[in-house]
Structure formats: C-alpha cells, structure tokens
Structure 1
Amino acid sequence: MKIKQFFHRSLAVVLSTALSFGLASQVQAKADSLRIGYQKNGPLLLLKNSGDLDKRLAQQGVEVKWTEFTAGPPLLEALNVESIDFGTTGGTPPIFAQAAKTDLVYVAYDLPAPSSEAIIVPKDSPARTVADLKGKKVAFNKGSSAHYLVIKSLEEAGLKYDDIEPVFLSPSDARAAFERGSIDAWAIWDPFFAVAEEQLQPRILRNGVDQYSFYLSSRNYVTENPDIIEIVIDELNKVGKWIEANPEQASKEFNKFLGLSYEISHKTVTRRNYGTQFLTDEIVATQQKIADVFTDLELIPVKVNIKDVVWTPAK
C-alpha cells in the first residue's frame, strides 16, 4: 500500500511539474519584443517617431525595436533570416521573397499611391516618352515596386522587357549613376523621388501604377502573437487618419527624421494614400495578377500563390 501511495504521489508530482512547464512554455511563447523594419516613408515612419506603439506595447511587456532599410528586398531578407518580425514594403518585394521561399505572411495593406513613384530621365534627355527608352539603360532596385512599374510602363508603351537594358541598383547607387549619366532613366519612389525632383529637376516620363503597399510578418511571429500584430495595425490606422487630417504637421514631423526641406517632406506625405486595412479577397486577387506577370516573364523561379501566405485576424 505504501508503495502504491508513493507511486501515486510521485506521478502527481510529475504531472504537476509537466503541466506547470507546459503553461510556462505557453507564456514564454509570447514574444517580449517586436522588431520592426521600416523605410523613410509612410505611416510606419511617423508611428516610430510618435512613440505611441512603443508605449502601448510596453504596457504588455513588449519592447519595440526599429531597424531602417533603404528598400523592400533587403527588409524582407532580414525577415527571412529572422532579424526582424514585421515590416512594410511595396507590392513587388513580397512576391520575390515568396518565390525565394521566405516564410512570410501578408498582414495588412495601404492603398496605392501612384504619384509617389516615377520613371525619370535627366532634364536634357532626348527621351520624351517611355517608348523612347528602347535600347536604353534603365535603373531600378530589383524586386522592388519600381521593377513592376518599369514592366507595366513598357507594356503600355508597346515594348517588351527585353527592349531595355535593366540595371539593378539600390536607390543611392542609382542616384549616383543618374547624376554621372551612366544610365538613361531611373525608376524610383519617395522620398528618393521627391529629393531628385527638387535637387536634379528631372523630366518625368511616367508616374507610378496602382500597387498596394503591404505590411508583412513571419508566419511564426504572427501565429504566436496575433494580439501584438493587431495592435500594430490599429496604431497604423490611427496614424494614417491623423496624417490625412493634419498634412502640414505630419510633414513637419516627417522632416524631423529626413532632415530635408519642408517641400520634400510635404510631397512625400501628401501624395500617399492612407488607411491600413487587413487583406480582402479583392486585394489578394490583384496581387496575384502582379505575381503572375513576373512568373510569365520568368523573373521569379516558381509560380507563387498569394492566398497561401495571407494572415487574417480571428473574427
């Protein structure tokens, strides 16, 4: 009898310990930090500057860490190697990242802002239309929203992608090449576009095309921390509404980070559209059409299915 009682007590201790460990593991599974990748544009930048998200998440014991990126592709590479948990890019980078097997998920989107990017040429360039770029060197960041802008613009001008010489350059390298005259045209987005407009007075051949901007996370992070992601989207939506209601003040806040002229900041702020929302079937279908363009041109190695990597919050 004593042996049986000892066995039962021991088993109870083991089960209690295991249960406690399991509960502790579940608690530990919730992140104590959120590492955000951002660029020098959009509501995420102003959210960083305001500190509102940091304060709100700090109440839940979550520390926000911010890392700046110059473009979407390197930001998503950081997401792939688990250096960040959340970030924002244009519509094209996540397509390339998904094709490269990055374990990302689309979390939310912002409305297109076609006037915030363009294909530009030097002011003394003989090129007057996109059709004049046949046989010319056109610079853009590979896998960026500018990449799709070039493809779509060529199609509308009756040209093929092979009709130009693509030059894959980061924004800073493309700016230098543009000033040297070693490229004929440059596809670029704000704030780099706004800076070039003010400082270089280029000619605009074509403004942007409708592409949504997206907020993305790693599948593991959003699965384990959906409440944190929902808070981020809520704060982004608040910031977007504030920007729309206060464009002048938003431009001043934006300029605190950029350190450029008020005119550049004002352009960057006012030619975007705001209102961060979770994805709908219509948005997914639109993004799928863009992905299929890259597949058809064999610019990505596999066909991707956008709806496979879309996260939506629980109802």
Structure 2
Amino acid sequence: MKPPIILDRRALLSAALGAVALGVTACAGDDTPQAALALGAPLPDSVPKGTKLVVGDKEHQKAIEFSGEAEKFSFEVEWANISGGPQTLEAFRAKALDIGSVADIPPIHSHWTNIPTKIVASKFRQDPLNHPIYRLGVAPGVTVTTIADIRGKKVAYSPGQAQGALVLRVLHKAGLAKEDVKLVELPSTGDVYATALASHQVDVAPIGGVQVKRYETKYGRDGATTIAHGLRDDPGHLYVPATVLTDPGKAAAIREYVQAWARAWRWREANPDEWIERYYVKDQGLSAEDGKWLVENAGVADIPPSWTEAIARHQETIDLLARETGNKRLDAADLYDRRYESVAAEALATENLR
C-alpha cells in the first residue's frame, strides 16, 4: 500500500465555481489540454488515457480490490489513507484528493467553509432503524434510559461530523435545546468517545460500529450501557470537489468508479465470510466474532436509482443545523450532481442481468 498522502495546508481551493467553467484542464499524465467541462454538462463517454483519481475510501477500497473491480479500471487509482469529514476536507483544501467517502454532514460543512463539493453516489441501509450505525453510549453509573434523560448531561459533540449532527437531531427529537445539556467538543475518531465515556469526561456519546459491542463488553460490568436513538443515521456518500468535475477525464473516471463502488457493495453482501476473514480479521485485526457482528448489524445496502427522497431528508438536516449553528441555509439539491444519480443503481441492474 502506498504511504499516506501528506497534505499541504497552504494549498487552498479557489472560490465557488459558476455554472460554466472556463479555461482549460488536463488529465494527470496527459499533456494535451482539454476544454473544461461545465458543471451539469453531459458526462464524456470515455476516460482519456492517463487519467488518475486519488480516492479516500479506506474500508470499501478493500472490497473493490477483493472483488476484482480494481483490476477493471481504465484509469489509474491512487488510494489515500484518508477517512472521515475533517481529513477529507483537509485533503480537498490541499487539492490532494479527488473522491472522499463520508456521511451526510461533511458535504454540508464543505459548502459552509467555501469548498464547494458534489455528491456523486449515495447508499443507505435497508430497514435503517433496526440497523443503525450509532447507539448512544452512556457512561458507567449514569442513568439514561431514554433520549429525554440526557437533559443536564455532558454530551460528546463533534461539529462538522455525522456524530455531531446526530446529537443535535437527538436533542430536537427529545424536545431539548443545546442549553439543556453541556456539549463537550471532542473529535469522534477511533475510540475517543468510548474512552471519554469510560473516564466520565462525558456522560453520553454516539458510538458506532464495533465500538458499540466493545464498549458494552468492556465496561458493562461497571454499569455502562447503550441506548437506541430512534433516528435514521445511515447515509453514506461519495463526494468530490466541484473543481474536479470540470476535468472531463476525471468526471468520466468518477462515473466508472461509482459503478465499481456499487458492485463491490453487492460483492461484500454475497461473500460475508470472505469479507470478514480478509478485511475485519486479517486487515483490521478484529476477531471473526466482531466481524460477524458488524456484517449482521449493517444489514443490506440500499442504493436507490433516485435521490429525491434522500435530498428531502438531507434538507431537513441542513435546516436543523442552520438553525442550531447560525450558518446560512443551503439548498440540499445543490449538494448533489444528478448526472450520477442513477449510475450506481444501473450498474447493479446490469450486473443482475448477467
């Protein structure tokens, strides 16, 4: 695996693009300049020789490789050891990344920080309330059995990330204001939240993935618990800087990447034992039991052919965040590049016909 990309913090993206991009651009490794592609213009039919994409999608990268999809690319892919909203946005600022994999908050935050981006692929979970990504972790000895009980508690909060938005949505659902709790700003990476709960730095924190199982197992004997929040928390997106989409070669390569991305999701679901052994056990060092729990908890990926409902839900999140943070209201539809709307679903449909 290539070493992680080192970001140049001084390299910032320019201001938001207009509907029509001017000038010329060239694909990586290709000295022939090409006219910039207008945002919204039809996607090119083919990927020019020499095109390269830098992709930050640490987990699903392995599914793309294990499934054989990576070998089919007509362009070069460089995998970046980057994940999560803050790292991805930092890489976008430095022009060091073409595609990032995140939840629904980073695309909002990117626009609020003057880095226009577009969502090019979206996935959700079938039966999302029974297959949540997060549960609310409760510190040992703290009594919280419903979301209303978080009143007066210290709650972990990460602005600009999915966990932070989930906290605001939970407060809203419980009829509470931010002033009714004490928000403690902490990064949500790794096991930071679980550690903060165990040390009573916070009373409540959204924890996800295998951290849920590990937290309950490790600290349950001390009185630690987790509770369901009862909200959808399942969006997963691929998003790219708007500037990248003005490069016709990259725009075409992104379409091909989205197709492979979708097929690799179905491969994961069709080959759970191999995925658990090769990724969770051998790559991540988890036990087979933990890997099985993660697969079962994730359920089945829903990759819809239309984003209309997703955009409506995204708008609700934007409106809530705008009110709570004082940021400008955005039109959720502006976060999506609908030229790619049906690409992933059509790739799956074509695969099913074979």
Deviation of 1:294 after TM superposition, in Å, equals 0.5
Matched, 1:301 2:327: yes
Q: Deviations over 1:44-93 (max 9, x none)?
A: 24335527343222xx3x32222234532322232233121101111122
Whole-angstrom distance in 1 between the partners of 2:35 and 2:214: 47
Match of 1:210 in 2: 232
Equivalent residue for 1:263? 289
Q: Which has more radius of gyration?
A: 1
- For residue 25 of structure 1, the aligned residue among 8, 29, 33 is 33
28 and 158 in structure 1: CA distance in 2 versus 1, 3 angstrom threshold: closer
Which secondary structure does the structure 1 equivalent of 2:144 belong to?
coil
- 113-122 or 130-139, which moves further after superposition? 113-122
Q: Which amino acid aligns with 2:100?
A: G
Alignment partner, residue 221 of structure 1: 244
Q: Which residue of 2 aligns with 1:126?
A: 143
Cα offset for 1:259?
0.7
Aligned-residue offset at 1:190: 1.9
> Any unmatched runs of 5+ in structure 2?
1-29, 38-47, 343-354
Contact 1:87 1:216 in 2 (8 A): yes
Q: Which amino acid aligns with 2:34?
A: Q
Letter in 2 for 1:73: P
- Report deviation, 1:217: 1.0
Q: How much does 1:209 deviate?
A: 2.2
CA RMSD of aligned residues (A): 2.8
Tell me the TM-score normalised to structure 1 length. Answer: 0.80
Check whether the contact 2:121–2:237 (CA below 8 A) recurs between aligned residues: yes
What CA deviation, in whole Å up to 9, does each residue of 1:285-312 have, x standing for no partner?
A: 2211110110111x15211122223213
Q: Give the 3-state SS of the residue equivalent to 2:311 in structure 1.
A: helix
In the aligned structure 2, how far is the partner of 1:54 from the partner of 1:219?
24
* Cα distance per residue 1:207-241 (max 9 Å; x no partner): 46214211101222233222211111111211111
Structure 2 length-normalised TM: 0.72
CA distance in 1, matches of 2:254, 2:65: 19
Q: Is residue 60 of structure 2 the alignment partner of residue 55 of structure 1?
A: no
Q: Which residue of 1 aligns with 2:337?
A: 311
Q: Give the corresponding residue for 1:11.
A: none
Structure 2 partner of 1:244:
269
Cα distance in 2 for partners of 1:218, 1:228 equals 14
Question: Relative to structure 2, which stretch is displaced further, 98-107 or 133-142?
Answer: 133-142
1:161-176, aligned counterparts within 5 Å?
161-170=178-187, 171=189, 172-176=191-195
Report the CA distance shift for 1:74/1:181 in structure 2 as closer, same or farther (over 3 A).
Answer: same
Unaligned runs of 5+ in 1: 1-21
Secondary structure in 2 aligned to 1:268?
helix
| Contact 2:140/2:197 (8 A) holds in 1 | no
Q: 1:236 to 1:208 in 2, by over 3 A?
A: farther
The percent identity for this pair of structures is 21
Matched, 1:109 2:122: yes
Following superposition, which runs of at least 4 residues in structure 1 exceed 4 angstroms of deviation? 27-31
Structure with the larger helix share? 1
Deviations 1:230-286 (A, max 9, x none): 111111211111222232332223312211122222222232231445652222122
